[in-house]
Amino acid sequence: MGNVTTSCPNNISSPDGNGLAVFVDGNNGVMKVKDINGNTQPLSDFVGGCVGGSSPFEYNANASGIQPIIGSNNASGSYSTIGGGKSNTILGAIICGYNVSFSVIGGGNFNCSTAPYTVIGGGGNNTTSFCFAVIGGGIYNTSSSTFSSIGGGSNNCASGYASTISGGQINTASGDKSIVGGGRQNIASGFYSTIGGGYTNTASGYCSTIGGGAINTASGYSSTIGGGKFNTACGNYSFIGTGEYNIASGIHSHIVGGCYNVASGNFSSILGGQYNNTNTCTYAMIVGTNITANRGCATFVNQLSIMNIPTASAGLPSGAVWRNGTVLEIIP
């Protein structure tokens, strides 16, 4: 076959009657059809697809993006693809003078990709606005950083580098490589921070973790809250298991549970109970309730019971003596 002559639509004349003119558009190299009324359309609109029918897809005006014929979709980014749905848009980005895209929208409606190499699986009103961002589905989600991803849900925003939101509602993963598993109104803003679920939790410390619960804050470096409500782990490497209104502010401080407890001493611990305070005493431990530590390296309890001691002098710990036969003292 010889060389195909290219032309422009205004240089092609259809013959009289109902005949059609088929030509290669010199502007973009696309083979087109021009009817007697001067209307032009890509030939691909009329061929392919099921036997006896026309193709459901067409090239966008850039001659590389592919979009459905119906649905008011716009795949104007280079080598972009819209699989279905309506009112979806792939715009691409101008990089070094080229309109770069290679993005995909599977379906849904009113989804928009404005950056190259992004994917939106479906859903509605979702937006990917940075390279390699992904949204699986859901509605009103925004994935706006490199390698950020949202699985589904609604009104979620993954804005940290390589951040992830699996689902839920109104969640934010703004820290680099942060994760929100689900729940509602959770914020993972620290680098490598993780929130499993619950609602209105904030993991702002580097490598901080909140398993669940509500209105908890893990702001210390590598701090952890398992669950409960209104708990705060603000000390570095601090830990709160569960309970309510507990504060672990000392370095390596721990509160297993209970409520209204404060572990403010470094390496201090509170087993449970309520209204306990290690009072900045280092290595203090509290087992009980309404106890305030007054010195470090000590264990504070309300009552201590040692069972199965046959006599007042037998089976006692080393250094222990009985006073008046009723009170146990441990003498250093």
Domain boundaries, the chain: 1-55
CA distance 59 to 65: 6
Side-chain-side CA neighbours of residue 311 (13 Å): 2
CA distances from 163 to 59, 153, 237 (A): 34, 15, 23
| Single pTM value for the model | 0.78
* Chain position carrying tokens 């092609």: 12
Cβ pair 295, 281 in contact under 8 A: yes
Neighbours of 316 (CB within 10 A): 15
Q: Give pLDDT tens digits along the chain (332 positions).
A: 345 455 666 666 655 555 667 777 777 667 777 776 777 877 666 654 444 445 687 877 677 788 888 889 999 888 899 999 999 999 876 666 666 689 999 999 999 999 999 999 999 999 999 999 999 999 999 999 999 999 999 999 999 999 999 999 999 999 999 999 999 999 999 999 999 999 999 999 999 999 999 999 999 999 999 999 999 999 999 999 999 999 999 999 999 999 999 999 999 999 999 999 999 999 999 999 999 999 999 999 988 766 655 555 555 556 565 555 555 555 54
Cβ pair 149, 164 in contact under 8 A: yes
CA distances from 55 to 20, 50, 58 (A): 19, 7, 7
Cβ pair 257, 273 in contact under 8 A: no
Cβ pair 7, 25 in contact under 8 A: yes
Cβ pair 199, 214 in contact under 8 A: yes
pLDDT at residue 70, as a whole number: 84
Neighbours of 51 (CB within 10 A): 4
Would you call 231 exposed, middle or buried from its count of C-beta atoms within 10 A (0-12, 13-18, 19+)? buried
Neighbours of 132 (CB within 10 A): 17
Among 67, 29, 71, 26, which Cα is nearest to 45's?
67
3-state secondary structure the chain: CCCCCEECHHHCCCCCCCCCEEEEECCCCCEEEECCCCCEEEHHHCCCCCCCCCCCEEECCCCCCEEECCCCCEECCCCCEECCCECCEECCEEECCEEECCCEECCCECCEECCCCCEECCCECCEECCCCCEECCCECCEECCCCCEECCCECCEECCCCCEECCCECCEECCCCCEECCCECCEECCCCCEECCCECCEECCCCCEECCCECCEECCCCCEECCCECCEECCCCCEECCCECCEECCCCCEECCCECCEECCCCCEECCCECCECCCCCCCEEECCCCECCCCCCEEECCCCCCCCCCCCCCCCCCEEEECCCEEEECC
Encoded tokens for 168: 């839920």
